[in-house]
Structure 1
Amino acid sequence: MTETITIYCKNNNVYKDVPLGATLLDIYTAVGSPLKNRPMNARVNNKVEGLTFRCYYPKDVEFIDYTQLSGQRTYVRSLCFVFSKAVHDVLPTATLNLEHPVSKGYFCKIHNGKSIDHQTIEKIRTRMREIIDADIPFRFKNTRTSDAVKLFHERGLFDKELLVETTGMPYTMYYDLDGYINYFYGCLTPSTGYIQLFDIVPYFDGVLLRIPRRSDPQELEPVIKQDKMFQAYKEHLTLLDTVGLNNVGDLNKAIRKGMTPEIIMVSEAMQEKSVAKIAEEIACRFRDNGVRMVLISGPSSSGKTTFCKRLQIQLITNLIHPVSISLDDYFLDREHTPKDEKGEYDFESLYALDLPYFNSDLQKAINGEEIALPTFSFETGSRIYKGNKLKMGPNSILIIEGIHALNPELTSILDDHYKYKVYVSALTSISLDNHNWIPTTDNRLLRRIVRDYRFRGYSAKDTIARWESVRKGEDKWIFPYQENADAMFNSAMLYELAALRKYAEPILMEVLEIEEENAEAYRLLRFLRYFNYIHETELPPTSLLREFLGGSSFSY
């Protein structure tokens, strides 16, 4: 008699007895294939597993499709494996770097001693389609790290060799695709046939790997213009190449050699140079073109507040007097705040601000009139006045920082020649290895988890639970306007994830396994293991990272 186990499927609240050792793919069919779209992976007891994972004990299982972020990650990783194999098959001596997300896709650089022409791109695309149509299984391998190091070295995968050699984990997993091996952080689809929609197109000096929309997996994401974002990434990649820290393995090796102080100093100096450059450009436009206002925007945990403070110092060194207005003080009274589709107050909306009142004060300030600054009380949900006043002098410039600062509607009453716009974001440029970039959203989420826990009384569970809503607000209210910026400031530092690890790990470990948020907490904990520790005592008090860790010389 076949031994069975009981599986509870969260998607349709079904209990099902399945054979001992059944794969998640088998279980998906047994519970009635509950998803509209094809599953990409599943949460098993609130940990994400690939569909070839076998169950030997009773489990709670929730199947995930492409419309959820975890499912999209699995699809994209699998697509990247197909892409890397196709490049290897078409250009056996080429080196491929999957560098960073941009323009709703992923920028990739193929190093082959010459430019990649349209004909070569078409050969790669055709080879990808052949691999997909063959529906070849991705075979999961798990081996002793010493053996993996040897294997990667023999195959010329030196970036992966260095990564696994410096992480200190006893065993290493990798994947085999018809004899071609590669290392990917996280699970893949069972086979190449799951990857039906993609494209590769020329993009600057490389190619853009296009992926489906999350909201509609039957359509590709549109290619949107993000030239300024691309150049911001490029500048940091050049810095990484200059200091020889292209990947996390390089960073770990440098830390072990005692080079942490130099890495921190170079990273901090690069940021201060960027702040100073922006301040000098503002000063030039202030004197020559009549700029009277600096608008600073960026997504959650991008470091806008510290950037703003450092910029004001640099403006003073340019003999300009900065004064500031906080958009948070112009919220509508609570009862007038718009609500979202769930009937909850939508504080992310532009229309949660009292726009007429804000623009009235803005016009008066620019005209040199004195204004009474409001203060919004989050306790009472209403505007109060504490006697604070603002009056701009002939040498003053107004600083406005907030998520809506680059939205043209916010300051529509003023001509653009009055404005200088800055977009701040943590554009993480260092990668795990040549084929595993680090999402900027992971960088920002880890910052926010640490800051919320240390200074705002929120647990990792609380922060993770709200993150999807925060990101939806960013997609709607921030990202569409980022290319409006006159300057982009990259707040990510070469070393910061190594410094965040010590703080983030104990906070993430407080999330209970029974809680839904454990899937994300567990993923982030596994991700942080790739970084050797850097102790925050080596960070200067003016570091932007201090905004999240504490110990800053700035007041927040």
Structure 2
Amino acid sequence: MKRVIRITLPGRPDTDVDAGTPVGALLPAIADNGLPIVGAIVNNDAVSLGFPLAAHATVTPLTAADHHGWRIIRWSLSFLLGKAIHTTFPDLSYRVRHSMSGGLFCTVAWPNGNSVADNVALIKAEMERLIDADTPISYDVVSYADALRLFESSHQHDKLALFTHRNPPYMTINRCGIFYDMAQEPIVHRAGLLRPYDLIPYENGMVLRLPSRANPQELGEWSPNPKLFAVYQEHISWGRILGVNSVGKLNRLIHDGGTDDLIQTAEALHEKKLAVIAADIANRKSPVKLILVAGPSSAGKTTFSKRLCTHLRVNGMRPLLISTDDYFVGDERNPRDANGHLDYEHIEAVDLKLLNEDFTRLLDGQTIKRRVFDFKTKKGYASDEEFNLKDNGVIVMEGIHSLNPRMITIPDSSCSYRIYVSALTQLGIDRNCRISTTDNRLIRRMVRDNAHRGHPALATLRRWPSVGRGEARWIFPFQNNADAIFNSALDYELAVLKPLATPLLNQV
């Protein structure tokens, strides 16, 4: 006799169904907003429409207009790209690398004498064929042995590398014809849902253009950033030096005892880059008196700034490190967003008047008291510590708004040097499954907020959408103002963060 479970759906009476019923069987094809339903939230977990319901559940449908629904589309297009390449160029070495102006950049080792544009056109033609045919994509649960057999038979060696150091009794996989993928995140159940998209050549690779987050029925804006692209390419070259560009290779290196060499080499590459930036600052014709370090949340601005200070001292300079976090106005004066919630990403969350007064006094050779903000009481105060700029002194100011022209108003901009910091990871799960730079920063922030500010993981997760909106408004538009860009990502960091983040996530 089949077990019966109760399902709660928005705007409908509770429904009793057999355990194992796919969630998609209970939902219409089109949502009230006119967009196709691409997945669902089941008991607070995003799932594919093929997900079998096993217990009493609350189910909420997702479209591409929802945050999690848009992520489903992004993962699905990466899956479809992998399927199209597997058909068109079965032995092609490629990697979905990083986000790039409304798309995903892919590196490719092209196998023939055709132009990049011709090869990209062949892959896109196969993607079009799959979408036009509304090709089904199934969600299957298979044994570990069967999963190994499937990936071996389809020559998907990048997936096999992930099996070496894990042996679960069963696995969930996504299947499209003879192309398979581990179900890292939910994807759509049929290819016909994956428009709009585009696939275009870029440099020696290609860019998979994605739907706009604001309007998923249109493509996102395409406006490449050459500065950031160059930093990504540099980090990819670092990955080649380290011999690690995927989780499978990282696991193998750790198993083989190569951890110390990996960490020391990765740190040395960072120090080499820091030395170049410090030398550029020290050798400027006009003496630099103010270094502005900006970047999104948990990009590593504070750690970078402290390390930069060491390199500046090596160059004969005397840095004075100041964090704009210490100039927060506190909750009573903090701006609020359209929903009435405190908006900590707003530039006016910083006491701009006091900050500029202190900087003006420092640059004039005066002494000030160090400003300190207590994150537990949410109040700032002037401490007893006094300081001023010494001979060859330079202020190093770090904070999310440091590149915003509204932040610091100084009469001589030639005395300032601007640096943008972000964690642009090149490590991937496999060829078509990338590790999101944003997710990487979220895990960093979760661990930091818990360790240093006493926040549970759930509080960080709830605040994260507001953080993202703030970054889009207040940080990313000014990244091109930077004189230098530093990539703080370390290819081993997620392995270090995992034992710290997992217990926090288990409480959510």
Q: TM-score of the superposition, structure 2-length normalised?
A: 0.92
- 1:52-451 counterparts in 2 under 5 A? 52-113=50-111, 116-285=115-284, 288-332=285-329, 334-376=331-373, 384-451=381-448
Q: 1:49 aligns with which of 8, 31, 47?
A: 47
- Deviation of the 1:330 alpha carbon: 3.1
* 1:453 aligned onto 2:450: yes
CA contact (8 A) 1:297 1:406 kept: yes
Q: Distance in 1 between matches of 2:180 and 2:2?
A: 36
Shift in Å, 1:5: 4.2
What's the secondary structure of 2:420's corresponding residue? strand
Any unmatched runs of 5+ in structure 1?
A: 512-556
Would you say the 8 A contact 1:337–1:346 is kept in 2? yes
State the Cα distance separating 1:335 from its structure 2 match: 4.2
What amino acid does structure 1 have at the position aligned with 2:317? Answer: I
Percent sequence identity over aligned pairs = 36
Q: Deviations over 1:82-127 (max 9, x none)?
A: 2222233333442221111122210012222357432333333232
1:7 corresponds to: 7
* Distance in 2 (alpha carbons) for counterparts of 1:458 and 1:51: 34
The separation in 2 between residues aligned to 1:321 and 1:130, in whole angstroms, is 62
* 8 Å Cα contact 2:375-2:453 kept in structure 1: no
CA distance in structure 2 between the partners assigned to 1:464 and 1:380 by the alignment: 21
Q: Give the alignment's Cα RMSD to 1 decimal.
A: 2.6
Distance in 2, matches of 1:37 and 1:489, equals 40
The 2-side partners of 1:162 and 1:377 are apart by 47
- Alignment partner of 1:491 is 2:491: no
CA contact (8 A) 1:363 1:414 kept: no
What is the identity, as a one-letter code, of the residue corresponding to 2:41?
Answer: R
The secondary structure found in structure 1 opposite 2:163 is helix
1:53-73 CA distance string (max 9 Å, x none): 233543211222223332122
Deviation of 1:169 after TM superposition, in Å, equals: 2.7
Cα deviation, residue 250, structure 1: 0.7
Displacement after TM superposition at 1:381 (Å): 5.8
Deviations 1:312-345 (Å, cap 9, x if unpaired)?
Answer: 1111111100013332333346544322112233
Kept after mapping to 2: 8 A contact 1:50/1:189: yes
Which deviates the most, 412-421 or 487-496? 412-421
Q: Which amino acid aligns with 2:219?
A: L
Of 174-183 and 13-22, more deviation after overlay is shown by: 13-22
Gaps of 5+ in 2: none
Conserved 8 A contact 1:184-1:435: no
- Number of equivalent positions: 507
In structure 2, give the amino acid aligned to 1:23.
P
| CA–CA distance in structure 2, aligned partners of residues 92 and 374 of structure 1 | 60
Please identify, of 470-479 and 353-362, the stretch whose mean Cα deviation from structure 2 is larger.
353-362
Report if the CA contact (8 A) 2:196-2:210 is conserved.
Answer: yes
The Cα of 1:247 is off from its aligned counterpart by 0.8
Mapped partners of 1:309, 1:94: distance in 2: 43
Alpha-carbon distance between aligned partners in 2 of 1:367 and 1:495, rounded to the nearest angstrom:
44
CA distance 1:439–1:381, change in 2 (3 Å): closer
CA apart distance, 1:81: 2.0
CA distance in 1, matches of 2:142, 2:374: 57
In 1, the alpha carbon distance for the partners of 2:420 and 2:379 equals: 29
Q: How much has 1:372 moved relative to structure 2? A: 4.7
Contact 1:164–1:172 (8 Å) recurs in 2: no
Cα gap change, 1:152 to 1:116, in 2 (>3 Å): farther
Amino acid at match of 1:221: G
Select between 172-181 and 441-450 the one with higher mean Cα deviation: 172-181
* Deviates further, 147-156 or 269-278: 147-156
**Alpha-carbon distance between aligned partners in 2 of 1:199 and 1:498, rounded to the nearest angstrom:** 34
Give, as a single letter, the amino acid of the residue that structure 1 aligns with 2:419.
V
Structure 1 residue 50, shift from structure 2 partner: 0.9
